[in-house]
Amino acid sequence: MTGFLDEIEACIPALRRYARGLSHDRDAADDLVQDCLERAMRKRSLFRPLGPVRPWLFRILLNLYRNDQRRVRRQGIHIPLEPDGNYPDASTNQQSRLELAGVAMALQNLPAEQREVLMLVALEGMSYEEASEILEIPTGTVMSRISRARQALRTATDAPPPRLRSVK
Amino acid sequence: MTSQPHSRISDADLMAYLDRSLDAGRMAEIAAALDTDPEGRARLAEWRQQNALIASLYQPVAAEPLPPRLNVRRMAAEGRGKHQAWHRMAAAAILCLGIGASGGWYWGHQGAGIGGTAPADQIVAALAAHRLYTAEVAHPVEVAGNTDGDLGTWFSKRLDRKLTIPNLEQTGWRLVGGSLLPAGDKAGAQIMYENAGGQRLTLFFTPVAPHKDGVPRFATSGDLGVMSWTDGSLNCTIVGPIDRTEIKRIAAEVYDQLT
């Protein structure tokens, strides 16, 4: 049991990072991770996974995220601009802050299915194989979604600086 | 393929190269091709820049100190408490169902004593529905179904919850179909399965107010095993002529397919 807990614990930083990438919101992301961990802890007695823990945890997190999405969709996208600590370095200059905010917004504007896979690969460093296993889609679909996501990001970041609105 | 230095590296190859999703041989080929392909290098650089921006946005999150609410050891300690409580409840449930089977509606008075929880009512309802419909030879279900057919849509609509019809073929149970039944003042969904020996198993789903998921409860009544749990806003009860090990196996399958 301790080994199992250790395995889960080792995945938490990555789960938080991934959740933040999905929602760009600190509290929402940690809520998601907390739900995921609670569910994993409850499941472990009866429904412990047979395979490795990491893809299992990511799958749980994604399922919860999708459930949340259905609720949130109606409320629109919220991108708190700053200062919420999402921009890593206080000394980052204004231009790159704007650039990062633009990317963050473009990421949030992607269809969820593209953001889910892009973040697994570009942020979590997973191979297409691993991503396809977690998302339960063929690798061809993984590739086409990433390709579309990159294209959309390019268009968004090439465009004149977006008009940012601060919500909150 | 590297013998044609001027052929354009496809986006798919280049992207898979960037995302380390090619085998070693192919990786080396693309790397070599890139040496003589400035346009390919430019495309690659642009994607790398995207990755770098994504990383600068979110990479630091992994190094942030963990808030206490994400402490799994604490969750484990709290969970143990709950688990023990559940064992006590499950023991009580077995006792009361035993009495109920031989003593009519005694359960009705005792039910509230076991924490007065909805799942207790659910178990009773699911058992009654199971006994009633599995005995039917000609019309055991209202709607015959397959797992990707209209049955799930119909139930989802009537229960106002997204309900996936679990596929239990792997565990040896074939879908027969489903019936809409009353469950308190709401609609419940009974889904029936049959094994090669003609035995029948039912899942009974009822909508509940969303709350924290409960630990699965196991009970027996006569020769029937029952397992019940709440997941989100749906309560699921499995009833079948099977023992605890088998019902757990099926519960795990159902749970995985529902979440």
pLDDT of residue A52: 82
Q: Which has more pLDDT, B246 or B3?
A: B246
pLDDT of residue A50: 61
Q: What is the pTM of this model?
A: 0.59
Owning domain of residue A119: 94-158
Domain assignment present for A168? no
Q: Which has more pLDDT, B204 or B259?
A: B204
pLDDT bin (cut points 50, 70, 90) of residue A82 is very low
pLDDT of residue B96: 45
Q: Which has more pLDDT, A20 or B101?
A: A20
Contact list in A for residue B16 (CB cut-off 8 A) is 128, 143
Contact list in A for residue B12 (CB cut-off 8 A) is 143, 147
Share of chain A above pLDDT 70, in %: 73
Domain assignment present for B6? no
Rounded to the nearest integer, the mean pLDDT of chain A is: 81
A151/B contact by beta carbon, under 8 A: no
φ/ψ of residue B240, rounded to 5? -170, 160
Angle at A134 between CA A36 and CA A12, to 5 degrees: 35
Strand order from edge to edge, sheet including B143-144: B143-144, B174-183, B186-194, B200-207, B234-240, B224-231, B217-221
Task: Tell me how many residue pairs between chain A and chain B have CB atoms under 8 A apart.
Answer: 121
Q: In terms of domains, do A71 and A101 share one?
A: no
pLDDT digits (tens, 9 = 90+) for A112-137: 999 999 999 999 999 999 999 999 89
- Structural domains of chain B, count: 2
Tokens 């019309």, located at residue: B139
Domain assignment present for A105? yes
Q: In terms of domains, do B37 and B159 share one?
A: no
Rounded to the nearest integer, the mean pLDDT of chain B is: 79
Owning domain of residue B128: 68-258
Min Cα distance A65 → chain B (Å) is: 11
Domain assignment present for A84? no
Q: In terms of domains, do B164 and B51 share one?
A: no
Q: In terms of domains, do A100 and A145 share one?
A: yes
Domain assignment present for A99? yes
SS3 assignment for chain B: CCCCCCCCCCHHHHHHHHCCCCCHHHHHHHHHHHHCCHHHHHHHHHHHHHHHHHHHHHHHHHHCCCCHHHCHHHHHHHHHHHHHHHHHHHHHHHHHHHHHHHCCCHHHHHHHHCCCCHHHHHHHHHHHHHHHHHCCCCCCCCEECCCCCHHHHHHHHHHCCCCCCCCCHHHCCEEEEEEEEEECCEEEEEEEEECCCCCEEEEEEEECCCCCCCCCEEEEECCEEEEEEEECCEEEEEEECCCHHHHHHHHHHHHHHHC
For residue A81, pLDDT beyond 90: no
Q: In terms of domains, do B48 and B136 share one?
A: no
pLDDT digits (tens, 9 = 90+) for A51-60: 788 998 999 9
Q: Which residues contact B202 (CB under 8 A, 6 or more apart)?
A: B126, B129, B130, B133, B134, B190, B191, B192, B193, B238, B239, B240
User: In what helix (H) or strand (E) does residue A28 lie, and over which residues does it extend?
Assistant: helix A26-47
Share of chain B above pLDDT 70, in %: 77
Q: In terms of domains, do B33 and B90 share one?
A: no
**What span, in angstroms and rounded, lies between the C-alpha atoms of B258 and B201?**
17
Q: In terms of domains, do B42 and B84 share one?
A: no
Record: contact B57-A39, CB cut-off 8 A: no
**What span, in angstroms and rounded, lies between the C-alpha atoms of B239 and B223?**
10
Domain assignment present for B2? no
The pairing of beta strand B217-221 with beta strand B143-144? unpaired
Domain assignment present for A165? no
Domain assignment present for B16? yes
- Of chain A residues 53-72, which have a CB less than 8 A from chain B? 60, 63, 67
pLDDT bin (cut points 50, 70, 90) of residue A107 is very high
Q: In terms of domains, do B176 and B223 share one?
A: yes
pLDDT of residue B63: 93
Domain at B245, CATH number: 3.30.200.100
Q: In terms of domains, do B87 and B164 share one?
A: yes
**What span, in angstroms and rounded, lies between the C-alpha atoms of A82 and A66?**
26
Q: In terms of domains, do B92 and B195 share one?
A: yes
Q: Nearest residue on chain B to A2, judged by CA atoms?
A: B73
Domain assignment present for B5? no
Gyration radius from chain A CA atoms: 17
pLDDT digits (tens, 9 = 90+) for B82-121: 544 444 444 444 444 444 443 333 333 333 333 334 467 7
Gyration radius from chain B CA atoms: 27
Q: Is B24 exposed, middle or buried (0-12, 13-18, 19+ CB in 10 A)?
A: exposed
Domain assignment present for A128? yes
- Range with the largest mean pLDDT of B3-7, B36-40, B249-253: B36-40
Domain at A26, CATH number: 1.10.1740
pLDDT bin (cut points 50, 70, 90) of residue A2 is low
Domain assignment present for A83? no
Q: In terms of domains, do B176 and B247 share one?
A: yes
- Of chain A residues 88-147, which have a CB less than 8 A from chain B? 88, 99-100, 103-104, 107, 118-119, 121-123, 125, 127-129, 139, 143, 146-147
Q: In terms of domains, do A49 and A106 share one?
A: no
Q: In terms of domains, do B129 and B243 share one?
A: yes
For residue A84, pLDDT beyond 50: no
Of the partner residues B54, B83, B213, the one whose CB lies closest to the CB of residue A122: B54
Query: To probe the interface with B, which of A9, A34, A47 has the most B CB atoms within 10 Å?
Result: A47
Min Cα distance A123 → chain B (Å) is: 6
pLDDT of residue B8: 83
pLDDT bin (cut points 50, 70, 90) of residue A165 is low
pLDDT of residue B212: 56
Q: In terms of domains, do B130 and B245 share one?
A: yes
For residue A36, pLDDT beyond 50: yes
Q: In terms of domains, do B203 and B92 share one?
A: yes
Domain assignment present for A23? yes
pLDDT of residue A73: 54
